[in-house]
């Protein structure tokens, strides 16, 4: 089953992640500055929703080329439109801006959104900030999870896999104890779902610090067999290769391997992406346009 992503806001972000590829992938470009919904084509969003619903895509992920939660009104307007069209809505975020949203704003978000996916490199705020490099310091991940849970919003952590040291030095592969410890900490935080994902490296002729960091520190080992061995039950196979398991009552998705989060399948699109102007089926290739 393919996913449907809708880009919100512009390229503004409150973090400077060492391996951020959102501004490197050449497709789905959007505004650098200015009004978040500048040039956002609401009519084409309706066409895009019609297109994906015919293909039985049941949910939508609000994401961005920057941090979508910096743009409350635009995000809430998109979420309301998606929910009105009977789609399940999830928001993808690094968590920092969302942690500052008021009670009223989160209360409005819960009217449209069932899930929030928070991207992390570590469950320790200090270690997470070393990679994500937030403006004005880190934030309390556990507090945000509890805040969202209080509104009935389900939290999914997207845990990016990396090596702390350069790959040229000796690196041990992660073992079952490593994964079980992260799953336990996440469960104790109140997290209901966790995705372990390899850092993707886009195809690019130009090297940049983000690609260099991903190549030197990205952990693209395939850990599917480890999750399978510690799981109680295999629940779901994604069309692009990811797998979902029940591990002691936690929904655990594993998307690890050489291609990471940019896995493509020629025979079937992994995702449909509305970038504000066009519907596409790849983040990387400008020619992957539907309309």
- How do residues 31-58 score in pLDDT, each as one tens digit? 555 566 677 999 999 999 999 999 999 9
Residue 173 pLDDT > 90: no
Q: Select the CATH number that applies to the domain covering 5-280 from these four: 3.40.50.2300, 1.50.10.10, 3.20.20.70, 3.40.640.10.
A: 3.20.20.70
**Burial degree of 70 (CB within 10 A; 0-12, 13-18, 19+):** buried
Higher-pLDDT residue of 251 and 262 is 251
Worst-scoring range by mean pLDDT, 65-74, 112-121, 190-199, 236-245?
236-245
Mean per-residue pLDDT over the chain, rounded: 88
Looking at per-residue pLDDT, the higher value among 152 and 30 belongs to 152
CA 190/CA 145 separation, integer angstroms = 7
Q: Read off the pTM.
A: 0.92
Q: Give percent of the chain with pLDDT exceeding 90.
A: 64
Separation CA 9–CA 73 (nearest Å): 9
| Mean pLDDT on 175-185 | 97
Tell whether the model's pLDDT for residue 27 goes beyond 80: no
Q: What is the pLDDT of residues 194-207, one digit of tens each?
A: 999 988 776 665 66
263 contacts 241 by C-beta, under 8 angstroms:
yes
pLDDT over 60 (residue 214): yes
Given a cut of 80, whether residue 277 has pLDDT beyond it is yes
Instruction: With a cut of 80, say whether residue 140 has pLDDT above it.
Output: yes
Domain residue ranges of the chain, discontinuous segments joined by +: 5-280
Dihedral, 216, 67, 41, 29 alpha carbons, nearest 10:
-30
Query: SS in 3 state form for the chain?
Result: CCEEEEECCCCCCCECCCCCCCCCCCCCCCCCCCCCCCCCCHHHHHHHHHHHHHCCCCEEEEECCCCHHHCHHHHHHHHHHHHHCCCEEEEEECCCCHHHCCHHHHHHHHHHCCEEEEEECCCCHHHHHHHHCECCCCCCHHHHHHHHHHCCCEEEEEEEEECCCCCCCCCCCCCHHHHHHHHHHHHHHCCCEEEEEECCCCCCCCCCHHHHHHHHHECCCCCHHHHHHHCCEEEEECCCCCEEEEECCEEEEEECCCCHHHCCCCCCCCEEEECCCCEECCCCCCCCECC
Q: Of the segments 24-38, 46-60, 231-245, 276-290, which one has the largest average pLDDT value?
A: 46-60
- The first and second tokens of residue 17, run together, are 């992640």
* Separation between Cα atoms, residue 53 and residue 267, nearest integer Å: 19
Question: How far, in Å, are 206, 267, 287 from residue 195 at the CA level?
Answer: 30, 24, 29
């Amino acid at each position: 089953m393919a996913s449907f992503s809708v880009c919100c806001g512009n390229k503004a972000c409150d973090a400077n992640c060492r391996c951020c590829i959102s501004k490197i992938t050449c497709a789905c470009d959007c505004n650098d500055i200015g009004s978040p919904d500048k040039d956002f084509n609401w009519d084409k969003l309706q066409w895009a929703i019609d297109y994906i619903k015919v293909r039985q895509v049941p949910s939508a992920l609000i994401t961005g080329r920057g941090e979508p939660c910096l743009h409350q009104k635009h995000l809430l307007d998109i979420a309301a439109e998606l929910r009105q069209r009977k789609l399940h809505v999830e928001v993808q975020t690094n968590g920092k801006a969302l942690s500052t949203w008021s009670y009223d704003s989160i209360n409005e978000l819960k009217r449209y959104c069932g899930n929030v996916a928070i991207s992390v490199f570590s469950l320790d705020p200090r270690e997470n900030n070393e990679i994500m490099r937030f403006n004005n310091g880190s934030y309390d991940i556990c507090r945000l999870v509890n805040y969202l849970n209080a509104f009935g919003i389900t939290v999914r952590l997207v845990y990016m896999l990396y090596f702390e040291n350069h790959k040229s030095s000796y690196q041990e592969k992660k073992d079952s104890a490593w994964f079980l410890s992260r799953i336990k900490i996440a469960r104790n935080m109140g997290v209901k779902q966790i995705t372990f994902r390899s850092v993707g490296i886009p195809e690019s002729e130009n090297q940049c610090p983000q690609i260099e960091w991903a190549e030197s520190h990205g952990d693209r080992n395939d850990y599917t067999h480890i999750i399978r061995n510690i799981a109680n039950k295999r629940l779901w196979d994604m069309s692009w290769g990811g797998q979902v398991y029940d591990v002691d009552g936690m929904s655990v998705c594993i998307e690890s391997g050489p291609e990471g989060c940019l896995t493509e399948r020629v025979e079937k699109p992994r995702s449909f992406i509305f970038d504000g102007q066009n519907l596409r089926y790849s983040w990387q290739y400008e020619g992957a346009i539907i309309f």
